[in-house]
Amino acid sequence: MESKMWTGDDLLQMKAKGIKKEQVEKQLKEFEKGIAFENLKAPASIGSGIIKLEENKLQSWMNRFEKSSVKKMKFIPASGAATRMFKNLFFFLDEFDSQKENLQEFIARTEKNELTKFFQQLESLPFYKEVMNFQQLEKETVLDQLAVSFVQNLLDEDKLGYGSYPKGLVPFHKYEDEILTAFEIHFLEGMNYSQNDDVAHLHFTVAKKHLEKFKKAQTQIEKKYPKNDFCVAYSYQQENTDTLASTRDNQPFREKNGSLLFRPGGHGALIENLNQVEADVVFIKNIDNVCVHEYLNEIVEYKKVLGGILLEIQEQVFQVLKKIDAENPEALTEANEMLSSCFHSEEKIKSFTEAKKLLNRPIRVCGMVKNEGAPGGGPFWVLDHQGKASLQIVESAQIDHTNQSQQDIAAKATHFNPVDIVCGIKDYQGEKFNLLDFVDASKGFISEKSKDGRALKALELPGLWNGAMAHWNTIFVEVPLVTFNPVKTVVDLLKPSHQPQI
């Protein structure tokens, strides 16, 4: 699109967001030409890119982590609203008419089978009493009538309004004397990470409109645990990372009032937020991946194991880099060995300059769980344009499912990415890396969305653990399935990992 085709209002809108016109025009070209799929070579697996933990080493890795004096921080993407979590309940309110059919008939007709479990186990939901008490609902009410009233109390903005809450502040776990949100559970995890550090450092990325809700909840949590020190930071997904939406024919998508539609650039935009973090070791974990107290110790232990592995590898890398600086003849051999054995790189280093370029990078240790069919990304060997393979986390949207050979490789995946990542973001001289230097800007996504009933194409930036970390040095480690307990839909709260054994 030529510059003269933008209106004055368009340019003002871009300026207000801090987005350059050239960026917008580049995005439109990406819609037109499309974004190349990843070129999968093979799934990563045990013995081929994924480390299987040895039981006799677990304690030593935990000890290394616990004795370390490095500054540790939890980085929790918490921007999302709970709307998706309650998607089927919103559908139920919109579509169910008790005058025309009963609840069972509705579920059978719409095939929303999870609603059966939801309504059968209402009393096991962490917010059950709160919802029932809101308008004095009676358990004995006819189920069809109770179902509608219960869901209205839960979701409607003029009632409890959880449908528009941030997911992190929705009640997740119900104990005899307390109800915990995912937000509070991350504080409990943070305490365990920082036993020798005294201060638990947490960073939440939130939507600006939800900030005051989070701060209010934080105040209550700090009162509840007066013997613990928390250092909590918040950040927003920056507006200048928003991307332009297009029509299906690759023209700028305009709102009814004629303004351009910009959309959040996806979790890949959070590399900007991560880049501002002041810490040595950063744990990344999604807001909804938490568990009840019974599993907490085991989960924290495996976080410490991943942290210990990072610190061990980091120490070895730093030693080699210092030898490279001294031009020690042994350094090139050691660098090649480290790239091959630790990071599974196919690169063969022939100079100190090459060695430094390939080793002096951020390091990430990524926990991987066995694939049990959950939707999402996984670990793969990926070929670049030169035919060199590297370990990457790949989302389903990055795979060409029309290509049979690529589909066959994806189908053989043995492991799944639970977003359980420990990051080393400082170099061997103690300086912070500029993480933006290690992003592969070509690894975005184009997805189909709609606005006001009109179809549109949305552009997402390279994902935080996909293209945004494409040029990090990567280690994949198998971790137990108990470490992965996401709440994608409300009925996930009925799983054992979210039901305290009272």
First to last CA, the chain: 62
Write the secondary structure of 328-392 as one string of H (helix), E (strand) and C (coil): CCHHHHHHHHHHHHCCCCCCCCCCHHHHHHHHCCCEEEEEEEECCCCCCCEEEEEECCCCCEEEE
pTM of the model: 0.92
pLDDT digit string (tens) for the chain, length 502 residues: 444 579 999 999 999 999 999 999 999 999 999 889 999 999 999 999 999 999 999 999 999 999 998 999 999 998 778 888 999 999 999 999 988 999 999 999 999 999 999 999 999 999 999 999 987 877 767 678 889 999 999 999 999 999 999 999 999 999 999 999 999 999 999 988 876 667 999 999 999 999 999 999 999 999 999 988 999 999 998 889 999 999 999 999 999 999 999 998 888 899 999 999 999 999 999 999 999 999 999 999 999 999 999 999 999 999 999 999 999 989 999 999 999 999 988 888 889 999 999 999 999 999 999 988 766 789 999 999 888 899 999 998 899 999 999 999 999 999 999 999 999 999 999 999 999 999 998 898 888 888 888 999 999 899 999 999 999 999 999 999 999 999 999 999 999 999 998 6
CA angle 440/442/443 to nearest 5° reads 75
Instruction: Round to whole Å and give the CA distance between 277 and 247.
Output: 37
